[in-house]
A and B are shown apart, each in its own frame.
Chain A
Amino acid sequence: MKKILILLILSICAFAKTDIIIYSECNNPPYSSCKDGKVGGISVDIYNAIFNKIEDYSLEVKGVYLDEALEKMKNKEIKILGTIPHNPIDRPYITDYTDSFIDRGKSLFCIKDINISDKSAFDGLIVLGTEGGYLDSDTQEFITKHNIKLQDGNISSNIIALLEERADCYIENELTLRGETLKIQKDYKDKNISITITEFDKIKKLVGLSEAGYYIGFSDAYFPLKNDLIKKINLAIKVMKNNGEIDEIIKHYMGTFLDFKGRDKLSVVIYPLASLVSKKMEGYGILSEIVSKAFANRHIDVNYRFEDRKYAYLLNKWGKDCVTFPWIKEKDLESYSYISDPLIIFDINFFYLKENFENGIKYEEFDDLKKYRVGGIKGSFYEALFQQIGFEYTSFSNNEELIKAMLLNQIDITPANKYIFRDALVDFVPYKIDSFIYHPKKFLRQIGYVLFSRMCENSEHYKDEFNRGFINIQNDGTLQKIVEKYASDEDKKKEYSEFFKNMETVEQKEKLIISDLNSTDTNASKHIDSNITIDIIEDKKETKTKKKHKK
Chain B
Amino acid sequence: MAINKFSFTLLFILASIIAGLIYLDRSLFTVSDYAQLRELRKTTLDSLPKDEPIKIGVVWPFGTEGEDYFKEGILLALKELNSKKVLDREIEIIFKDNLYDLDISRKISIGFAQDPKIVAVISDDYAKLAIPNSIIYENSAIIMISPAVSEPQFININFNYIFRTTPNNIDIGKRLADLSAMLNFKKVAILSDNSLYAQNLTKIFRKEILGVGSTIVYDSKFQEESKNFRKVLSDLSPLNNSDIDYDAIFVAGDEFEVPLLIKEAREYGIYAPFLAGDFLDTNTILDYGEEMDGTIIATIFNNELLNDKTQDFINRFKQEYKIMPDTWAAQGYDTLMLLAKAIENAKSLDTEKISLSLKYMKNYESIFGTYSMDIDGNVKNRFVYFKRLLHGKFHYIYLN
Residue numbers of A with Cβ under 8 A of B are 52-55, 232, 235-236, 238-239, 242-243, 310-311, 314-315, 317-320, 332, 335-336, 378, 397, 454-455, 457
Contact = CB atoms under 8 A, between A and B. Distances in A.
B308 interface: yes
A310 B240 CA distance: 12
A242 B247 contact: no
A454 B184 contact: yes
A314 B314 contact: no
B211 interface: no
B272 interface: yes
B306 interface: yes
28 contacts: A53-B304, A53-B306, A235-B311, A238-B315, A239-B303, A242-B303, A242-B315, A243-B303, A243-B304, A310-B242, A311-B239, A311-B269, A314-B245, A315-B271, A317-B247, A318-B271, A319-B271, A319-B273, A319-B294, A320-B271, A320-B294, A332-B186, A335-B186, A336-B247, A378-B242, A397-B242, A455-B273, A457-B395
B294 A318 contact: yes
Contacts of A335: 184, 186
Contacts of B303: 239, 242-243
A243 B306 contact: no
Interface in B39-77: none
A89 B272 CA distance: 57
Contacts of B304: 53, 239, 243
B242 to A, nearest CB: 6
A242 B238 CA distance: 41
Contact of B311 (A239, A336, A397): A239
B318 interface: yes
Interface of B: 183-184, 186, 238-239, 242, 245, 247, 269, 271-273, 294, 303-308, 311, 314-315, 318, 324, 390, 395, 398, 400
B238 A314 contact: yes
Contacts of A332: 186
B308 A235 contact: yes
The prevalent SS among residues of B at the interface is loop
Residue in A236, A239, A242, A320 whose Cβ sees the most chain B Cβ within 10 Å: A242
A314 B242 CA distance: 11
A242 B318 contact: yes
Contact of A242 (B183, B272, B314): B314
A457 B184 contact: no
Contacts of A232: 306
Given A311-B269, A318-B294, A54 B306 contact: yes
Contacts of B294: 318-320, 455
Nearest to B308: A235
Contacts of B398: 52-53
Residue in B183, B238, B269 whose Cβ sees the most chain A Cβ within 10 Å: B238
The 9 closest A-B pairs by CB, nearest first: A320-B271, A238-B311, A235-B306, A335-B184, A242-B314, A318-B272, A239-B304, A318-B271, A311-B238
A336 B306 CA distance: 30
Nearest to A457: B390
A317 B272 CA distance: 8
Nearest to B270: A318
A443 to B, nearest CB: 26
A315 B305 CA distance: 32
Contacts of A238: 308, 311, 315
A191 B311 CA distance: 48
B184 A336 contact: yes
A243 B318 CA distance: 10
B314 A310 contact: no
A236 B239 contact: no
B245 A235 contact: no
Contacts of B315: 238, 242
Given A319-B273, A455-B294, A239 B242 contact: no
Contacts of A457: 390, 395
A430 B304 CA distance: 62
A224 B324 CA distance: 36
Contacts of A53: 304, 306, 398
